[in-house]
Amino acid sequence: MNTSNLQNRTFLALLMAVSAAFLTILWPFHGAVFWAVVLAILFMPLHRRLLARMPKRHNLATLCTLGLCLLLVILPMALISLSLVQEAAQVYERMRSGDLNFGRYGQQILAALPDWATRLLAHFHLSSLADVQEKLSAAAVQASQFLATKAVNIGQNTLGFLVSIGIMLYLLFFLLRDGTALVARMRNAIPLDEAHKRDLGSKFATVVRATVKGNIVVAASQGALGGFIFWVLGIQAPVLWGVLMAFLSLLPAIGASLIWIPVALYYFATGATTQGVVLTGFGVFVIGLVDNLLRPLLVGKDTKLPDYLVLISTLGGMSLFGLTGFVIGPAIAALFVAVWDLFAPETTHPPIPD
């Protein structure tokens, strides 16, 4: 028996087992670790500029970068989350007391529909006001139960959330300070061609930056604009609806219109034509154009994945990893495309004759 091969296989097996055990230990805080890596990638250019101004003070430059991250990202998210919890609790109380009745709103919209729309709804067994009210009431009950469950979970998991934030910030400090050396060691340990490692690393960093800057900034902009117009029109819980619009904006081909279109229809159905026109115009010409205007500026054309691949990878990532999946999913999809491009480079085919 070849002793050298046996030793190599034993060492590789030991390496895989220890790595799997280490990942298992980290898994309860995988969200904190992941977001620490994402924030380190995003703020590394800023950290390098600060480090250039104070080359002999690595810890001070890292602390300044960490403070800017707290001020620009974490503090606004904490304030928005606090407002979201408060408004979600208020909406839940209104639904439970009957003050907020989606079945009644559905009746008003259905009564104002033209005949052809009523006949179309008849095919889906929704032509009866009682049926509509029953279905909407059932949906409202499920939504209220969901909100109540989330509110209880937030209250129970406050300590765990704070621990995760602390771990993320602690890890972020060291990733910013020692990230360059860690990346160099990881690249040296990967048994691939140097050009392939460089391309894959560049692709991963570019996709993470593009996904976070593009998707999050666009979603936050659409959510903020949607919440603003809801506040202007006097709709209760504008922060809640704005967050929902921002969340839906992460999904291509769906967007924030799933929130503001039903509200605009309700305004038209109840005779509030001015509010309906204002909301429709704002939704189409302001909220709807944000994606077309901001995304090309924040996400280069060379790094943009096809919309169908972004949609599938985002939904799949969120189903497996929760909210962090909207970054993990597209990042994995981009790496998948990059690896296959390295394995089978795209070739130019002659045009097909007519």
How far is it, in rounded angstroms, from Cα 208 to Cα 202? Answer: 10
pLDDT at 129: 47
Count of other CB atoms within 10 angstroms of residue 316 = 16
Q: Report how far residue 347's alpha carbon sits from residue 210's, in angstroms, rounded to the nearest whole number.
A: 26
Of 96, 98, 107, nearest to 132 (Cα)?
107
Identify the pLDDT of residue 144. 52
What H or E segment, with its residue span, contains residue 321? helix 307-321
Distance, in Å, from the CA atom of 89 to the CA atom of 333, rounded to the nearest integer, reads 37
Q: CA-to-CA distance for 244 and 146, rounded, in angstroms?
A: 14
Residue type, 330: P
Q: Which amino acid type is present at position 157?
A: N
| Spacing of C-alpha 87 from chain mean position | 21
Digit-by-digit pLDDT tens for the chain (354 residues) are 567 778 888 888 898 999 899 889 988 888 888 888 888 888 888 888 988 888 888 888 899 999 998 888 888 877 777 777 777 777 667 666 666 655 555 665 666 565 656 666 665 555 554 555 555 555 555 555 555 555 555 555 566 777 888 888 999 999 988 888 887 887 787 777 777 777 777 777 777 777 777 777 788 888 888 889 988 988 877 887 888 888 777 766 567 788 888 888 878 877 788 888 898 899 888 888 887 777 666 655 555 667 677 778 877 887 887 777 777 887 788 778 777 777 766 655 455 554
Instruction: Please say whether the beta carbons of 230 and 238 come within 8 A.
Output: yes
pLDDT of the residue at 354? 47
Nearest to 295 by CA among 310, 281, 316: 310
Report if pTM > 0.85: no
Return d(Cα 190, Cα 54) in angstroms, integer: 33
